Amino acid sequence: MPITAPAPRFLGQGAIRFEDHTYRDPEPDELLLRVEADAVCGTDRDQYFGGSDCVPGHEGAGIVIAAGDQTHTPLGTRGAVFLMDFCGQCRSCRGGYTNQCFAKRNDMGFTADGAYGPYEIVHESNFFPVPADVSGVEATLLLDVMGTSGHALGRIGRMRDDVESLYISGAGPVGLGVLAMAKARFGADFPVHISDFSTWRLDFAASLGGTPVNLNEGAPSGFEADAAVDTTGKSAARRMGLDLLSKRGVFVCVGHGEGLDLTVSPDLIAPERTVMGSEYFRYAEMADNLTMLLAHRELFGKIITHVIPRSQIDQAFELFLGGQTGKVVVVEDPA
């Protein structure tokens, strides 16, 4: 039977109102989840200020409470929801590049109801089960914090196998995720410089093992990096990152936004640098990231600084947009 329950409606201009929302029964190949947690993302800012026709939330985790025909996931299974409801049939999906699906059915939280509500309907194919001892809050780490960040590092590795240093533009949640993933993959002593204007964020990045670069004191200088990741989407930040690259350096744009001005001969040809984009991550990467999470729970767990009940979602956004948090996670209200 369909379920009707209060869900947050994003009205725009920072206004959120809870209204009754009806969730249908899952159809073949679909699962109905009771949402346990959803992590606030910078991308949610557009819906917070601009409004949304559906329930937002694209970093969700929950428990299966009903399943449609032709599914195999047991009721009671906890898991994370992959943002892109990929088709599974196109050329990209057949090759495993589910983040580049040519015929995706939805972007969860943008074109279909997401995980800020109490329930979510997902295709079984974009639900990733986790062990019972991994909480819903922890499961959200597999998404942008580890998934998007790890994919960017993987893109770097495809172009260069001798990276000995990294520079990150932006110490927001994704930048912190890149930092933590680099430390987990390459070791605690792997040098990572990370820049921002916020002294709070820089101090927080330092607590994760990063070397802070305060942009209030001018452009970064005095070091080179074999690879750089921009999470800000800002042209100036991208240009600074490119200027810090060593020969054969690899530059990855993760943050959407502005452009990048470069001169081909001195910036690319002579030093043989690579400039590339990195969009979200592949569903198949979640298995390795789960293994990494279980091996480094304390490190990744530090990135979550606030857990806020769904009924106080407006406070969660106020905290997050205030710029003095790591990852903020919205969770179901206590029974």
Residue 139 C-alpha from the chain's centroid: 12
pLDDT of 282 above 90: yes
For CATH 3.90.180.10, list the domain ranges present in the chain: 3-142+303-331
The DSSP line for 174-243 is: HHHHHHHHHHHHH-TTS-EEEEES-HHHHHHHHHTT-EEEEGGG-S--S--EEEEEE-S--HHHHHHHHH
Q: What is the mean pLDDT of residues 280-305?
A: 97
Q: Which CATH class is domain 3-142+303-331?
A: alpha beta
What pLDDT was estimated at residue 1?
78
Q: Which two tokens stand for residue 310?
A: 């769904």
Q: What is the mean pLDDT of residues 83-111?
A: 97
What pLDDT was estimated at residue 335?
77
pLDDT tens digits, 132-143 = 999 999 999 999
E-strand stretches of the chain: 3-12, 15-23, 30-39, 60-67, 78-81, 84-85, 106-107, 119-123, 127-129, 166-169, 192-196, 211-214, 225-230, 245-253, 274-277, 304-309, 327-331
Sorting pLDDT into bands at 50, 70 and 90, what band is 72? very high
* pTM tops 0.75, yes or no: yes
The amino acid occupying position 72 is H
What pLDDT was estimated at residue 33?
98
pLDDT of 304 above 80: yes
Q: Which 8-state DSSP code applies to residue 98?
A: G
What percent of the chain is predicted at pLDDT more than 90?
Answer: 99
- Dist CA 156 CA 87 (whole Å): 27
For CATH 3.40.50.720, list the domain ranges present in the chain: 146-277
The answer to whether the CB of 198 falls within 8 A of the CB of 213 is no
pLDDT of 178 above 80: yes
What pLDDT was estimated at residue 121?
98
In sequence order, the β-bridge partners of residue 331 are 37, 309
- Dist CA 238 CA 255 (whole Å): 10
146-277: CATH topology is Rossmann fold (3.40.50)
What pLDDT was estimated at residue 217?
96
